[in-house]
């Protein structure tokens, strides 16, 4: 498995998790803002956790030991999973940005519903 193949699989699987969370938020869109805030906080924690677990899962599914040693370009000796965690950091930021944009939209609607006096309407 090449690095590019790994990153493609990783991105696709992380996006699949994010889409599940987006669907869950969509189904909660009529709930109170407090419930939505709690769910968003939970999702953000899960995204980080699942993102890290995905690295080992993908490697193991491809019969690659995630704890195998790798020498980096600066001659550091690190585990493969640590090296890939660094490589996936940008992917996580991009995917989380997409989720955050969506969740902010759902939360804004709920806040306007819960606190209409504080909601600014376009004139």
pLDDT, tens digit, 9 for 90 and up, residues 62-87: 898 888 877 666 666 787 888 888 88
Average pLDDT of the residues of the chain: 87
For the segment 86-92, the average pLDDT, to the nearest whole number, is 87
CB 43 within 8 A of CB 99: yes
Instruction: Indicate the CATH number of 3-115 among 1.10.20, 1.10.132, 1.10.150, 1.10.530.
Output: 1.10.132
Answer yes or no: is pLDDT of 19 > 90.
Answer: yes
Examine the pLDDT at 29 and tell me if it is beyond 50: yes
Q: Which long-range contacts (CB under 8 A, 24 or more apart) does 31-37 make?
A: 31/110, 32/110, 32/114, 33/107, 33/110, 33/111, 33/113, 33/114, 33/115, 34/114, 36/103, 36/106, 36/107, 36/110, 37/107
């Amino acid at each position: 498995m090449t690095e590019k193949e790994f990153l493609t699989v990783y991105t696709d699987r992380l996006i699949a998790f994010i889409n599940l969370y987006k669907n869950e938020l969509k189904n909660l869109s009529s709930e109170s803002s407090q419930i939505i805030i709690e769910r968003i906080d939970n999702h953000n924690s899960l995204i980080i956790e699942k993102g890290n677990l995905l690295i080992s899962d993908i490697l193991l599914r491809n019969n690659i030991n995630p704890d195998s040693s790798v020498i980096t370009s600066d001659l550091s000796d690190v585990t493969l999973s640590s090296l890939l965690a660094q490589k996936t950091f940008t992917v996580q930021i991009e995917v989380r940005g997409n989720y955050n944009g969506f969740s902010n939209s759902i939360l804004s609607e709920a806040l306007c519903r819960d606190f209409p006096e504080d909601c600014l309407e376009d004139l």
